[in-house]
Homo-oligomer: A and B are copies of this chain.
Amino acid sequence: MMQGDGVVDLATSLGYLLKEASSALRLAMEAVLRPLGMTVTHYSCLELLAQRPGLSNSELARGAFVTRQSMNVLLQALERDGYVTRPAEAPVGKALPTRLTPLGRRSLATASAAVRAVEVRMLSGMTEAEQSAAHTSLQSMIRSLRGADEGR
Protein backbone atom coordinates (compact mmCIF):
# COMPACT_ATOMS: atom_id res chain seq x y z
CA MET A 1 0.00 0.00 0.00
CA MET A 2 2.99 2.28 0.37
CA GLN A 3 5.44 3.58 -2.13
CA GLY A 4 9.02 4.52 -1.54
CA ASP A 5 8.31 8.09 -0.54
CA GLY A 6 5.31 7.25 1.61
CA VAL A 7 2.68 8.30 -0.91
CA VAL A 8 -0.43 6.13 -1.13
CA ASP A 9 -0.25 3.82 -4.08
CA LEU A 10 -3.56 4.32 -5.84
CA ALA A 11 -3.22 1.18 -7.92
CA THR A 12 -3.45 -1.08 -4.89
CA SER A 13 -5.24 1.15 -2.38
CA LEU A 14 -8.47 -0.34 -1.08
CA GLY A 15 -9.81 3.17 -0.58
CA TYR A 16 -9.29 4.02 -4.22
CA LEU A 17 -10.74 0.69 -5.29
CA LEU A 18 -13.78 1.33 -3.12
CA LYS A 19 -14.30 4.69 -4.76
CA GLU A 20 -13.83 3.14 -8.18
CA ALA A 21 -16.39 0.42 -7.53
CA SER A 22 -18.87 2.86 -6.08
CA SER A 23 -18.45 5.14 -9.07
CA ALA A 24 -18.98 2.27 -11.48
CA LEU A 25 -22.12 1.20 -9.64
CA ARG A 26 -23.48 4.73 -9.59
CA LEU A 27 -22.81 5.15 -13.30
CA ALA A 28 -24.53 1.87 -14.10
CA MET A 29 -27.53 2.82 -11.98
CA GLU A 30 -27.77 6.26 -13.55
CA ALA A 31 -27.68 4.65 -16.97
CA VAL A 32 -30.73 2.50 -16.29
CA LEU A 33 -32.63 5.08 -14.22
CA ARG A 34 -32.20 7.98 -16.62
CA PRO A 35 -34.64 6.58 -19.20
CA LEU A 36 -37.16 6.36 -16.36
CA GLY A 37 -36.62 10.01 -15.47
CA MET A 38 -35.20 9.11 -12.09
CA THR A 39 -31.97 9.90 -10.25
CA VAL A 40 -30.20 7.54 -7.88
CA THR A 41 -31.23 9.55 -4.81
CA HIS A 42 -34.78 9.68 -6.14
CA TYR A 43 -34.84 5.91 -6.49
CA SER A 44 -33.18 5.36 -3.11
CA CYS A 45 -35.88 7.40 -1.44
CA LEU A 46 -38.71 5.40 -2.99
CA GLU A 47 -36.98 2.11 -2.22
CA LEU A 48 -36.51 3.07 1.41
CA LEU A 49 -40.16 4.03 1.68
CA ALA A 50 -41.27 0.73 0.16
CA GLN A 51 -39.37 -1.26 2.74
CA ARG A 52 -40.02 0.98 5.72
CA PRO A 53 -43.19 3.03 5.23
CA GLY A 54 -43.57 6.09 7.39
CA LEU A 55 -39.91 7.13 7.48
CA SER A 56 -39.33 10.80 8.21
CA ASN A 57 -37.35 13.21 6.09
CA SER A 58 -34.28 12.93 8.32
CA GLU A 59 -34.43 9.16 8.39
CA LEU A 60 -34.68 9.03 4.61
CA ALA A 61 -31.71 11.38 4.34
CA ARG A 62 -29.56 9.10 6.48
CA GLY A 63 -30.66 6.07 4.51
CA ALA A 64 -29.81 7.69 1.20
CA PHE A 65 -26.55 9.20 2.46
CA VAL A 66 -27.45 12.83 1.79
CA THR A 67 -28.20 15.74 4.12
CA ARG A 68 -31.72 16.22 5.40
CA GLN A 69 -31.80 19.51 3.50
CA SER A 70 -31.18 17.73 0.21
CA MET A 71 -33.75 15.08 0.99
CA ASN A 72 -36.23 17.80 1.90
CA VAL A 73 -35.87 19.35 -1.56
CA LEU A 74 -36.41 15.96 -3.16
CA LEU A 75 -39.40 15.10 -0.97
CA GLN A 76 -41.13 18.37 -1.82
CA ALA A 77 -40.78 17.56 -5.52
CA LEU A 78 -41.96 13.97 -5.03
CA GLU A 79 -44.94 15.19 -3.02
CA ARG A 80 -45.80 17.82 -5.62
CA ASP A 81 -45.69 15.20 -8.37
CA GLY A 82 -47.81 12.75 -6.42
CA TYR A 83 -45.28 10.01 -5.68
CA VAL A 84 -45.42 10.34 -1.90
CA THR A 85 -47.72 11.85 0.72
CA ARG A 86 -47.02 13.51 4.02
CA PRO A 87 -49.53 14.60 6.64
CA ALA A 88 -49.98 18.34 7.05
CA GLU A 89 -49.24 18.07 10.74
CA ALA A 90 -46.86 15.83 12.63
CA PRO A 91 -48.65 13.15 14.69
CA VAL A 92 -45.81 13.32 17.21
CA GLY A 93 -42.89 15.69 17.46
CA LYS A 94 -41.94 17.40 14.20
CA ALA A 95 -41.24 14.31 12.12
CA LEU A 96 -43.62 13.87 9.18
CA PRO A 97 -44.10 10.19 8.31
CA THR A 98 -43.87 9.78 4.53
CA ARG A 99 -45.67 7.13 2.48
CA LEU A 100 -45.69 6.01 -1.12
CA THR A 101 -48.77 6.68 -3.21
CA PRO A 102 -50.01 4.05 -5.70
CA LEU A 103 -48.28 6.11 -8.37
CA GLY A 104 -45.07 6.04 -6.38
CA ARG A 105 -45.34 2.28 -6.00
CA ARG A 106 -45.85 1.79 -9.72
CA SER A 107 -42.95 4.08 -10.52
CA LEU A 108 -40.72 2.20 -8.13
CA ALA A 109 -41.63 -1.20 -9.53
CA THR A 110 -40.00 -0.64 -12.92
CA ALA A 111 -37.03 1.19 -11.42
CA SER A 112 -36.46 -1.53 -8.88
CA ALA A 113 -36.38 -4.19 -11.57
CA ALA A 114 -33.80 -2.21 -13.53
CA VAL A 115 -31.59 -1.66 -10.50
CA ARG A 116 -31.91 -5.29 -9.50
CA ALA A 117 -30.58 -6.26 -12.91
CA VAL A 118 -27.57 -4.01 -12.38
CA GLU A 119 -26.82 -5.61 -9.03
CA VAL A 120 -27.15 -9.09 -10.51
CA ARG A 121 -24.67 -8.11 -13.21
CA MET A 122 -22.32 -6.72 -10.60
CA LEU A 123 -22.32 -10.02 -8.73
CA SER A 124 -22.20 -12.18 -11.85
CA GLY A 125 -18.49 -12.87 -11.61
CA MET A 126 -18.45 -13.74 -7.92
CA THR A 127 -19.10 -16.96 -6.09
CA GLU A 128 -21.38 -17.14 -3.08
CA ALA A 129 -18.33 -17.31 -0.83
CA GLU A 130 -16.79 -14.25 -2.44
CA GLN A 131 -20.01 -12.31 -2.05
CA SER A 132 -20.14 -13.26 1.61
CA ALA A 133 -16.52 -12.22 2.06
CA ALA A 134 -17.19 -8.88 0.39
CA HIS A 135 -20.15 -8.38 2.70
CA THR A 136 -18.11 -8.84 5.87
CA SER A 137 -15.21 -6.81 4.51
CA LEU A 138 -17.38 -3.82 3.68
CA GLN A 139 -19.12 -3.97 7.03
CA SER A 140 -15.77 -4.05 8.77
CA MET A 141 -14.61 -0.94 6.88
CA ILE A 142 -17.82 0.89 7.73
CA ARG A 143 -17.52 0.01 11.39
CA SER A 144 -13.92 1.21 11.60
CA LEU A 145 -14.60 4.45 9.76
CA ARG A 146 -17.68 5.31 11.79
CA GLY A 147 -16.01 4.75 15.13
CA ALA A 148 -13.86 7.88 15.27
CA ASP A 149 -16.07 10.00 13.08
CA GLU A 150 -19.26 10.53 15.02
CA GLY A 151 -21.40 13.49 14.03
CA ARG A 152 -21.53 15.29 10.73
Contact check, B25 vs A138: say whether CB atoms are below 8 A apart: no
| A41-88 residues at the B interface, CB under 8 angstroms | 47-48, 50-51, 63, 65
| A99-152 residues at the B interface, CB under 8 angstroms | 112-113, 115-116, 118-119, 121-126, 130-131, 133-149, 152
Q: How many copies does the complex hold?
A: 2
Q: What's the Cα separation between A108 and B140 when bound, in Å? A: 28
Say yes or no: A126-B152 contact (C-beta < 8 A), given A7-B112, A65-B20: no
Interface residue total, chain A, C-beta cutoff 8 A: 62
**Residue positions of A touching B, CB distance < 8 A:** 1, 3, 6-10, 12-15, 17-28, 31, 47-48, 50-51, 63, 65, 112-113, 115-116, 118-119, 121-126, 130-131, 133-149, 152
